[in-house]
């Protein structure tokens, strides 16, 4: 126990808590004028997440990697079942009811997926055709299932795993070229035959929000106005006109950055940047004892980085509106719980790393 306290990365854990509490404060502001009790729910979820964190933390990483395929299969099966019988909330079938809470399965599949991909990546030294196809199948099944819900944002986040896999592993150049061609053709095909017009609008409108002022461009314009009008120090807590007068859409989830930018200004944004920088710096620079741990650390951190980047860029109109929460900050129990569980594994890897060095 003493060793635990000594080697447990308390500083990073406090950073995580700081992110969550910043988020809760922003959720409180974002839903201040509507009578929702989102921030108390988020506090409750934090409690659940911390408990889960330490439960997972107690488990040996080998066991997690060994069971990752089983978890992966179970969650894929649930996703398949959801396509048929999911409850539609906010236009998607991504939720299942667990007691009083709604659970978003697509958030949880990220963990066994990262574990299983990491395990798979250790098995080959270079990505050749065989291993490439194998990776694509592992990633492709949940991607397609989540995209069918339809939750393009969450599905899109999974592509970060592929990007990091390619960065981390040597790959045959021909596969890269082939992938690019397939992605381009696939994107065009998806655009024309799969995406619904409102989804197409969402993607284009970020390039020219003024043209889509009345529809999808509205969110981008209002978010930019919120962030831009925040200035250096912001309009003050609970004083953001864009959020308090409800010009900002989905402000307690996807656009929480805009609430921060409006009410706390550039200083508030910089503060959150600092917290995230600490998180990334400390969690990326880990010396794991196995390859699979190493890959897991990069894949999971990469996912957080990717989602963080999309959310911030989206708020100033640098990226299409994705509908993904900002990790640890946005409202959403499933997201919070999943990221805490994912982080618990990295903490455990770091602890092992310290213990082994002694």
Which spans of this chain sit near other proteins (rule: CB under 8 A)?
122, 125, 168, 222, 224-232, 241-242, 245-247, 261, 265-266, 269-270, 273, 277, 280-281, 284-285, 287-291, 294, 298, 309, 312-313, 316, 318, 356
Under 8 Å CB-to-CB from 191, ≥6 apart: which residues?
200
Judged by beta carbon, residue 201 or residue 293, the one nearer other proteins is 293
Task: Report the nearest approach of other proteins to the CB of residue 291 (Å).
Answer: 5
Judged by beta carbon, residue 154 or residue 243, the one nearer other proteins is 243
Are the beta carbons of 93 and 80 closer than 8 angstroms?
no
Instruction: Tell the residue number behind the tokens 């929000």, with chain if given.
Output: 209
Judged by beta carbon, residue 32 or residue 101, the one nearer other proteins is 32
Task: Report the nearest approach of other proteins to the CB of residue 85 (Å).
Answer: 27
Judged by beta carbon, residue 38 or residue 353, the one nearer other proteins is 353
Q: Given its phi and psi angles, is residue 231 left (phi above 0), alpha (psi -120 to 50 degrees) or beta? A: left
84, 172, 82: which is closest to 125 by C-alpha? 172
Helix, strand, coil % over all residues of the chain, rounded to 5: 70, 5, 25
Task: Report the nearest approach of other proteins to the CB of residue 228 (Å).
Answer: 3
Task: Report the nearest approach of other proteins to the CB of residue 356 (Å).
Answer: 6
Task: Report the nearest approach of other proteins to the CB of residue 33 (Å).
Answer: 8
Task: Report the nearest approach of other proteins to the CB of residue 306 (Å).
Answer: 11
Rounded Cα gap, residues 26 and 21, in angstroms: 8
DSSP character at residue 104 = E
Judged by beta carbon, residue 45 or residue 300, the one nearer other proteins is 300
Judged by beta carbon, residue 161 or residue 312, the one nearer other proteins is 312
Q: Which long-range contacts (CB under 8 A, 24 or more apart) does 199-205 make?
A: 199/150, 199/152, 202/320, 202/321, 203/320, 205/320, 205/321
């Amino acid at each position: 126990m003493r060793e635990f306290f000594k080697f447990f990365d308390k500083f990073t854990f406090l950073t995580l808590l700081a992110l969550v509490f910043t988020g809760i404060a922003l959720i409180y502001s974002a839903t201040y004028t509507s009578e929702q009790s989102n921030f108390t729910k988020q506090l409750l979820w934090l409690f659940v997440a911390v408990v889960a964190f330490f439960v997972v933390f107690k488990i040996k990483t080998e066991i997690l990697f060994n069971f990752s395929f089983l978890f992966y299969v179970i969650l894929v099966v649930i996703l398949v079942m959801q396509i048929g019988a999911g409850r539609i909330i906010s236009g998607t079938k991504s939720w299942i009811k667990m007691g009083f809470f709604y659970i978003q399965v697509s958030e949880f599949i990220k963990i066994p997926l990262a574990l299983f991909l990491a395990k798979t990546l250790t098995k080959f030294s270079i990505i050749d055709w065989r291993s490439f196809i194998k990776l694509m199948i592992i990633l492709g099944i949940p991607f397609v299932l989540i995209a069918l819900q339809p939750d393009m944002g969450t599905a899109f986040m999974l592509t970060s795993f592929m990007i990091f896999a390619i960065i981390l592993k040597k790959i045959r150049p021909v596969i890269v070229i082939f992938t690019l061609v397939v992605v381009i053709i696939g994107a065009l095909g998806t655009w024309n035959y799969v995406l619904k017009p409102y989804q197409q609008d969402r993607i284009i409108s970020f390039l020219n929000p003024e043209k889509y002022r009345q529809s999808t461009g509205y969110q981008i314009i209002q978010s930019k106005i919120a962030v831009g009008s925040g200035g250096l120090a912001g309009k003050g807590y609970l004083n953001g006109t864009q959020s308090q007068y409800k010009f900002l859409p989905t402000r307690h989830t996807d656009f929480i950055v805009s609430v921060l930018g409006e009410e706390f200004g550039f200083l508030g944004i910089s503060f959150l940047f600092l917290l995230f920088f600490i998180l990334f710096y400390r969690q990326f620079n880990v010396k794991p004892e196995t390859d699979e741990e190493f890959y897991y650390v990069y894949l999971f951190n990469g996912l957080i980085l990717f989602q963080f980047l999309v959310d911030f860029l989206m708020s100033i109109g640098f990226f299409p509106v994705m509908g993904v929460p900002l990790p640890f900050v946005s409202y959403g129990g499933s997201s919070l719980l999943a990221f805490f569980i994912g982080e618990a594994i990295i903490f455990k890897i770091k602890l092992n790393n310290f213990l082994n060095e002694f």
